[in-house]
Chains A and B, each alone.
Chain A
């Protein structure tokens, strides 16, 4: 239960050809505590990221609702097809409403 969320780490290609399929990888450091775990006999309080929103040029491309079966340090891979240079925005939110954001740019041409 740190004061602020870690910054998401994003791996995308720097450039792509129009219509090319690009792989997007996201990783965010987070314990994803379920509330079921015990440490030295004391229950560890629940602390979960519950949402990831990926926007491409401001439009939502993918949303994830994460629950307590998602592993610590959530890692996701998905694929976009880009027709033009794009700004990607990744926002993670935890159950207490805190957010962490990262952006990436892919030049298409």
Chain B
């Protein structure tokens, strides 16, 4: 009896370990991922547009556009754009390092969303300020676990 229980216990523990990384990130993990990219800078809304579908049929391929109001000159430009998926197993999706060689501060990409969630785009400006845009995306079929 005792060995059977132990085996079941071990199996349960193993399953829990496998399942763990697939769960949604916590608020703390999201905040840590954001701070890892932009440090302690104050984050302000406005001056940045995040375009994403209201409903994504396929969470594995969600088109996202981030566009920041910036002349993209040597003196004044966007130095980085970061995208976060608030309820993916790991919230950091991608970071883009921009230069004044770009005609405008715009990046289009395709991301994975495991479930309905908020997507956050942050822009780091050359003066050190950070801008934020948020989009809520409903997902018909999740894109991380299928």
Count of chain A residues with a beta carbon within 8 Å of a chain B beta carbon:
32
| Cβ-neighbour of B112 out of A35, A43, A69, A81 (below 8 A) | A69
B146 neighbours in A (Cβ, 8 Å): 37
The number of chain B residues touching the other chain, given as a range, is 35 or more
Given A34-B89, A36-B145, A70-B94, A75 contacting B99 (CB threshold 8 A): no
Nearest-Cβ distance from residue B66 to partner chain A, whole angstroms: 10
Interface string of B7-50 (1 = CB under 8 A from A): 00000000000100110000000000000000000000000000
Inter-subunit contact B101/A61 (CB<8 Å): yes
Q: List residues 68-109 of chain B with CB under 8 A from any CB of chain A.
A: 83, 85, 88-99, 101-104, 106-109
Inter-subunit contact A62/B95 (CB<8 Å): no
Q: Give 17 CB contacts A-B under 8 Å.
A: A32-B112, A36-B21, A37-B144, A43-B18, A61-B102, A62-B101, A64-B109, A65-B97, A67-B93, A70-B94, A70-B109, A71-B109, A75-B109, A77-B109, A78-B106, A78-B107, A79-B104
Please give the residue numbers on chain B whose beta carbons come within 8 Å of chain A beta carbons, in ascending order.
18, 21-22, 60-62, 83, 85, 88-99, 101-104, 106-113, 143-146
